[in-house]
């Protein structure tokens, strides 16, 4: 579940909110420092701009149902709210310095395309295929 603009929790997998065209970024991040919250937002924004033909939703710390581990910044993606998650990045055992906890989002693009193409080959632009190569 995620919070919508009114602050109400949304279950993206339920029949009312589910869309096979909405991919979910699941990010577990510690709350010890505000930069972790900011970096989660940056990740979502980056992919919304980088892959505009796809809808993305951010779900952080299982909407408060998960107590994040100290120093965690874990990024997973699911094709939609009803499919399995694929880990893209783990910053748990990285750092100090703190900046090592966070991925370079551009480095994750090929993996995101690979996950999306697995279920939605028609949603990945042909030029993206050339960029990805043989993964």
Band (pLDDT 50/70/90 cuts) for residue 128 is very low
Tell me the domain boundaries of the chain: 2-122
Is 98:47 a contact under the CB 8 Å cutoff?
Answer: no
How far is the C-alpha of 20 from the C-alpha of 104, rounded, in Å? 27
CATH of domain 2-122: 3.40.30.10
- What pLDDT does residue 24 have? 93
- What pLDDT does residue 131 have? 47
- What pLDDT does residue 15 have? 80
**CA 135 to chain CA mean position, Å:** 20
Q: Is 88 helix (H, G, I), strand (E, B) or coil?
A: strand
Q: E strands within the chain?
A: 2-3, 9-10, 22-29, 55-60, 73-78, 85-90
Question: How many CB atoms neighbour CB 55 within 10 A?
Answer: 14
How far is the C-alpha of 29 from the C-alpha of 54, rounded, in Å? 24
Is 112:49 a contact under the CB 8 Å cutoff?
Answer: no
The per-residue pLDDT for range 7-55, each reduced to its tens digit, is: 567 888 888 888 888 999 999 999 989 999 999 999 999 999 999 999 9
- What pLDDT does residue 20 have? 86
């Amino acid at each position: 579940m995620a919070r919508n603009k009114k602050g109400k929790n949304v279950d993206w997998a339920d029949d009312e909110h589910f869309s096979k065209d909405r991919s979910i970024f699941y990010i577990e991040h510690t709350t010890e420092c505000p930069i972790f919250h900011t970096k989660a937002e940056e990740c979502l924004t980056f992919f919304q701009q980088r892959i505009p033909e796809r809808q993305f939703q951010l779900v952080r710390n299982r909407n408060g149902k998960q107590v994040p581990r100290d120093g965690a910044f874990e990024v997973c993606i699911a094709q939609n709210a009803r499919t399995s998650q694929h880990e893209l990045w783990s910053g748990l055992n990285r750092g100090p310095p703190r900046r090592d906890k966070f991925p370079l989002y551009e480095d994750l693009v090929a993996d995101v395309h690979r996950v999306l193409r697995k279920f939605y080959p028609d949603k990945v632009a042909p030029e993206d295929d050339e960029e990805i190569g043989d993964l």
